[in-house]
């Protein structure tokens, strides 16, 4: 066994074990930490495959942003998961039925998948020696699939604006900062001089 095979079995074994612990851990914070470990090991597998761009993308985007965001949301919300699990047995038959249907669909899709000859020919074509993996991916994204890339950016922008609009609600009982009102304050409005007699207190 060479070094590459040893690292492959190490990364894949740790990734499978951490992925299992994501759904098996009782504490949601531990689940998110195991999810981060699974992402890191998956990025190691991408490096072994020569896809360094996907490996760095997985670490920077998913570990550095998505998983850490999940962790902070779970820690800040302080959800009572014991209360949420009270009706688990009630919905167990429906959940098991949906899981079986999804498993059957996955088996049918994987069993009936057959790559086309064009895809096999493109995969067997040798890559240019002077073009890196990141450069080749950029050439494909910004030339052949540039319209799909821009459409995906517009969809994400729309989702971000929708999330901001839905969460930015002005409640009447919440005090908010008003910059115009603060800049328009005068000394008479901000300072009140009270003359207190001696030895009487406020």
User: What per-residue confidence (pLDDT) applies to 3?
Assistant: 84
- Determine, yes or no, domain membership for 32: yes
Interval 78-108: pLDDT, tens: 666 666 666 667 778 888 999 999 999 989 8
When computed from its CA atoms, the radius of gyration of the chain, rounded to whole angstroms, is 28
User: What per-residue confidence (pLDDT) applies to 137?
Assistant: 80
- Determine, yes or no, domain membership for 116: no
Q: What is the DSSP string of 90-130?
A: TSHHHHHHHHHHHHHHHHHHHHH----HHHHHHHHSPPPTT
User: What per-residue confidence (pLDDT) applies to 70?
Assistant: 78
Mean pLDDT score, 125-145: 76
Mean pLDDT score, 183-193: 83
Which two tokens mark 53? 């761009």
- Determine, yes or no, domain membership for 25: yes
Residue 116 has pLDDT above 80, yes or no: no
Between 149 and 79, name the one with better pLDDT: 149
Domain extent, residue 52, equals: 1-79
Between 50 and 81, name the one with better pLDDT: 50
Residue 134 has pLDDT above 90, yes or no: no
CATH of the domain at 73: 1.20.120.1200
Q: Is 199 left (phi over 0), alpha (psi -120 to 50) or beta?
A: left
Count: domains in the chain: 1
Strand, coil or helix: 137: helix
Q: What is the percent of the chain with per-residue pLDDT over 90, rounded to a whole number?
A: 19
Supply the mean pLDDT for the chain. Answer: 81
Residue 127 has pLDDT above 80, yes or no: no
How far, in Å, CA of 56 to CA of 47, rounded? 9
- Determine, yes or no, domain membership for 146: no
Mean pLDDT score, 161-166: 83
């Amino acid at each position: 066994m060479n070094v590459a095979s040893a690292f492959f079995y190490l990364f894949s074994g740790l990734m499978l074990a951490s992925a299992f612990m994501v759904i098996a851990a009782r504490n949601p914070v531990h689940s998110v930490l195991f999810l981060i470990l699974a992402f890191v090991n998956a990025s190691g597998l991408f490096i072994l495959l020569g896809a360094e761009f996907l490996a760095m993308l997985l670490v920077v985007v998913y570990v550095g942003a998505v998983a850490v965001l999940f962790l902070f949301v779970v820690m800040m919300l302080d959800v009572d998961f014991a209360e949420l699990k009270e009706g688990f047995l009630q919905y167990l038959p429906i959940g098991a039925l949906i899981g079986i249907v999804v498993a059957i669909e996955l088996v049918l899709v994987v069993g009936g998948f057959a790559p086309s000859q064009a895809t096999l020919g493109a995969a067997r074509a040798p890559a240019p020696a002077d073009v890196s993996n990141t450069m080749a991916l950029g050439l494909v994204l910004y030339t052949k699939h540039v319209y799909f890339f821009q459409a995906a950016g517009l969809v994400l922008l729309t989702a971000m604006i929708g999330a901001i609009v839905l969460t930015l609600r002005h409640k009447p009982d919440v005090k908010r900062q008003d910059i115009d009102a603060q800049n328009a304050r005068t000394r008479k409005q901000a300072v009140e001089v009270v003359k207190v007699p001696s030895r009487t207190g406020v």
